[in-house]
């Protein structure tokens, strides 16, 4: 093993970690806010039109590969004159996909709150919006923590595909450094370890959140 190459390798991979984390956080934020909003609207104002619109969105984003969406957002939008930097395109595409996932997660969460909870709230004279905000939503949040954690772990892994649109995250940098150092096994093996550490950390974080949210 050539120890002179370890420095640059570590440097490149760590720089990649920063971008990976940025993309993950950005996409997670969009996914939670956008997905939560869609599911809340759908729950509060049930209508055939809204249902159709939201489920069309959800199905399109859930039944087409992440890579395809990434390339559509990055190259496809550029064709129509909307040029996004690769990082923004990555966050947008992963966020939109995540929005579809989280919309379903939130929906299942709202539906899992027992009906008696809603009935008790309405019976005391709470109007529907307050019933949703104070009784259903807080309980649903706890229910959706485990599937949200699964989604977040999947998201971190999916950020590796962003390499395909040249966002300088872990895998992109790994590829670059392999091209000059030829330490293929070392570099990709280290990348694997980094992802493992990231996903373990995230899993532990969500586990702690679940413990904290238990009542």
Partner 1 sequence: MFSFYQTIAENWSDWWPRLSHAAWITIYVTALSFVVAFAIGLALEFMRTRSSVAIRLTAQIYILTLRGVPILVVLYLLYFALPGYGVIISALTAGVIGLGAVHGAFLAEVFRAGLRSVSPGQREAAQAVGLSPFQTFSLILFPQAIKIVLPPLLVGFISLLKDSAICALIAVPELMLAARAIMAETFLPMHVFVLVGVFYFGIAFPASLLVRALEKRLTRGSTNKSSLETGDILPVARLDGVGR
Partner 2 sequence: MNTAPILTVRNLKKSYGILDVLRDVSFDLHRGERLAILGPSGSGKSTCLRAINFLDPPTSGTITLEGELIGLHPNGKDHRSATRRKMTARELAPQRAEIGMVFQLFHLWPHLTARENVALQPRKVQRMSSSDANHLAEAMLKKVHLGHKLDEYPGRLSGGQQQRVAIARALAQKPKVLLFDEPTSALDPELVGEVLNVIQELADEGRSMVLVTHEIAFARRMADRVIFMDAGVIVEEGPAREVLANAKEPRLRKFLSTVSTQEAVQ
40 binds partner 2 (CB under 8 A): no
At 134, list the tokens.
């104070």
Name residues contacting partner 1, limited to 60-119 (CB under 8 A): 60, 62-69, 71-72, 75-80, 114-116, 118-119
Site of tokens 């939109």: 96
Task: Give least dist CB 149 to partner 1, A.
Answer: 12
Helices (H), 63-183: 66-71, 77-79, 86-112, 115-123, 128-130, 137-158, 170-181
What CA–CA distance (Å, rounded) separates 71 from 62?
Answer: 16
Q: Of residues 120, 192, 201, 205, which one binds partner 2 by CB under 8 A?
A: 120
How many other C-beta atoms are found inside a 10 Å radius of the C-beta of residue 43? 17
Q: What is the DSSP string of 180-205?
A: HH--HHHHHHHHHHHHHHHHHHHHHH
Q: Of residues 27, 31, 102, 121, which one binds partner 2 by CB under 8 A?
A: 121
Q: Of residues 4, 124, 185, 211, which one binds partner 2 by CB under 8 A?
A: 124
184 binds, among partner 2, partner 1, none (CB under 5 to 8 A by kind): partner 1
The pattern of x and - marking residues 142 through 171 that bind partner 2 according to CB under 8 A reads x-----------------------------
178 binds, among partner 2, partner 1, none (CB under 5 to 8 A by kind): partner 1
**Where does residue 79 fall: left (phi above 0), alpha (psi -120 to 50 degrees), or beta otherwise?**
alpha
101 binds, among partner 2, partner 1, none (CB under 5 to 8 A by kind): none
211 binds partner 2 (CB under 8 A): no
What CA–CA distance (Å, rounded) separates 123 from 192?
Answer: 54
215 binds partner 2 (CB under 8 A): yes
């Amino acid at each position: 093993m050539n120890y002179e190459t370890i420095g640059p390798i570590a440097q490149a991979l760590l720089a990649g970690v920063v971008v990976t984390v940025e993309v993950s956080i950005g996409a997670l934020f969009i996914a939670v806010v956008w997905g939560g909003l869609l599911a809340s609207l759908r729950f509060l104002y049930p209508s055939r039109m809204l249902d159709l619109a939201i489920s069309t969105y959800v199905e399109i984003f859930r039944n087409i590969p992440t890579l395809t969406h990434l390339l559509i957002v990055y190259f496809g939008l550029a064709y129509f004159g909307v040029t996004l930097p690769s990082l923004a395109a990555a966050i947008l595409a992963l966020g939109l996909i995540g929005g579809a996932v989280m919309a379903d997660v939130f929906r299942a969460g709202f539906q899992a709150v027992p009906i008696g909870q809603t009935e008790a709230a309405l019976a005391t004279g709470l109007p529907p919006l307050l019933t949703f905000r104070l009784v259903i939503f807080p309980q649903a949040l706890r229910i959706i923590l485990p599937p949200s954690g699964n989604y977040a772990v999947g998201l971190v892994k999916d950020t590796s595909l962003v390499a395909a649109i040249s966002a300088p995250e872990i895998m992109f940098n790994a590829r670059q450094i392999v091209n000059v150092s030829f330490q293929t096994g070392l570099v990709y093996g280290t990348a694997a370890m980094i992802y493992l550490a990231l996903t373990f950390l995230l899993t532990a974080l969500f586990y702690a959140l679940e413990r904290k949210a238990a009542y």
